[in-house]
Structure 1
Amino acid sequence: MSGDDEGPVAADALDRVTWALRRAELAVQALKEQRLRSLGMAAAHYSLLISVHAEPGLTGAELARRLNVTPQAVASLVARLEDRGRLERRPHPRHRHVQELHLTDAGRDALRAADAVIAEIEQQITEKLGPEDTDRLTVLLGQAADAVRES
């Protein structure tokens, strides 16, 4: 091999928009984990709770698809949240082997506290960007998601 062979990636690989998206995602995720820890919660717990809040009665399989995780990961999270009294399973009205997920009062309280933490992170970002750039970023991210979905 000679010294002028191409490397394993293009020279601009770390300047790509997809890498910028990933860096931002990792930074936000790390901050969520850090700040939610004081509530005894992980970002995955928040994602699950807010999903069940938005669509009460979701099944574990539906949640797994929405959160892009395995059914086993959802089952583990559900068991943990159920043990903490934040989530309850109820029989599905039509399918006897399926259980729906619902927040308990403790789950709503936990979600409320966690959402306040997430709102603080959101505020930290939007204050840094300002209203115009925040709006522009929101539109651009939506367009990026649409572009990927269309392919």
Structure 2
Amino acid sequence: MSQRGIELDTSLGYLLKEASSALRSAMEAVLRPLGMTITHYSCLELLAQRPGLSNSELARGAFVTRQSMNVLLQALERDGFVSRPDQAPVGKALPTQLTPLGREHLAQATAAVRTVEVRMLSDLTADEQQAALGILRRMIRSLRDADA
């Protein structure tokens, strides 16, 4: 470490943030022509994997506020990509489902995002890719375990 502080090119936190920023920019670039944002894509992907999530659950999964997710869900519902009941079956939560149009939209976005991931991993061997995934999972678990 220098007298000025952490050397950015050797700071894991800084490099992870830089990688995250580069990934976000590349994803935005491939999603934009589809009329989507990363939050839009994340919401559809979450619903494909876990149908019936509420606004709050989607907001947590997409790392946005409940208010932002509510605005997005209203737009997605208006555009025919998701459906929600008029009244909550239980409590206040309105479970959200993908429509066939939403699934089609998601398939296009998933293919576009996959090209970004393939490009990101292109300089790594299959073993290095698996090692990177394992290391990142362990880092996340270590940080979450420390917060518990």
- TM-score where L is the length of structure 1: 0.88
The alignment covers a number of residue pairs equal to: 143
Q: Partners of 2:126 and 2:106 in 1: how far apart?
A: 26
Partner residue, 1:93: 89
Q: Partners of 1:75 and 1:53 in 2: how far apart?
A: 18
Residues 74-99 of structure 1: CA distance to partner in whole angstroms, max 9, x if unpaired?
0111112112111111244323x321
| Structure with larger Rg | 1
- Corresponding position: 1:30 with 2:35: no
- 3-state DSSP of counterpart to 1:99: coil
- TM-score where L is the length of structure 2: 0.89
Partner residue, 2:68: 73
1:113 is matched with which residue: 108, 113, 127? 108
Gaps of 5+ in 2: none
Amino acid corresponding to residue 45 of structure 2 in structure 1: I
Give the CA RMSD over aligned residues: 1.5
Q: Where has structure 1 moved over 3 Å in runs of 4 or more?
A: none
